[in-house]
């Protein structure tokens, strides 16, 4: 098990962000707002946006003092105001080491303590079986599958919705 922490993003993370995020294997499972190639300009804009959140809701996954991925909650608005969307990515050298299930558990706990939400959801693509397994391992339940609703890299993909809900006592 690799030791890691979740912490706010800082401009000092720009080099490691670009180094690890500039990977087509990561970009293929993200929205087009996470580009490939991943440039310093995009990285700087992302860090400035992540650092502006109050309370912080987008965190760096720090391994040995280096930002090696990201995880965040995106609170929704209007009639969806009791929901937050979960997003995450991890540098390829750290895949398969059990980091993301633990990071998800930490961010879910943080989200329910910090925001007035009752549900956290994630929307992996149907082709991203690794992310589906990670969400299931973290206690998320598949709520829906929408066929061919995502258009990514010239192909239609299924959109899955996984969610977890605040535990009521």
pLDDT digit string (tens) for the chain, length 169 residues: 679 999 999 999 999 999 999 999 999 999 999 999 999 999 999 999 999 989 999 999 999 999 999 999 999 999 999 999 999 999 999 999 999 999 999 999 999 999 999 999 999 999 999 999 999 999 999 999 999 999 999 999 999 999 999 987 6
CATH dotted code for 5-165: 3.40.630.30
Q: Which of 22, 115, 7, 23 is nearest to 58 (CA)?
A: 7
Report CA-CA distances (Å) from 92 to 5, 27, 62, 168: 17, 11, 14, 36
pLDDT digits (tens, 9 = 90+) for 69-96: 999 999 999 999 999 999 999 999 999 9
Phi-psi map region of 23: left, alpha, beta (phi>0 left; psi -120 to 50 alpha): beta
Domains of the chain by residue range:
5-165
DSSP class per residue in 95-133: TTSSHHHHHHHHHHHHHHHHSS-SEEEE--BTT-HHHHH
Q: Which of 107, 139, 134, 97 is nearest to 3 (CA)?
A: 97
């Amino acid at each position: 098990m690799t030791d890691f922490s979740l912490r706010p993003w800082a401009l000092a993370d720009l080099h490691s962000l670009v180094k690890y995020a500039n990977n087509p294997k990561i970009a293929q499972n993200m929205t087009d707002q996470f580009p490939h190639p991943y440039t310093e300009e995009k990285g700087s804009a992302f860090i400035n946006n992540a650092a502006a959140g109050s309370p912080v809701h987008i965190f760096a996954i720090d391994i040995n003092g280096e930002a090696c991925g990201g995880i965040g909650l995106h609170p929704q608005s209007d009639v969806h105001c009791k929901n937050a969307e979960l997003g995450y990515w991890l540098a390829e050298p750290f895949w398969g080491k059990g980091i993301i299930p633990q990071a998800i558990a930490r961010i879910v706990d943080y989200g329910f303590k910090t925001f007035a939400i009752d549900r956290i959801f994630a929307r992996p693509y149907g082709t991203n079986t690794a992310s589906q397994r990670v969400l299931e391992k973290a206690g998320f339940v598949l709520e829906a599958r929408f066929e061919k609703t995502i258009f990514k890299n010239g192909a239609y993909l299924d959109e899955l919705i996984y969610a977890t809900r605040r535990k009521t006592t």
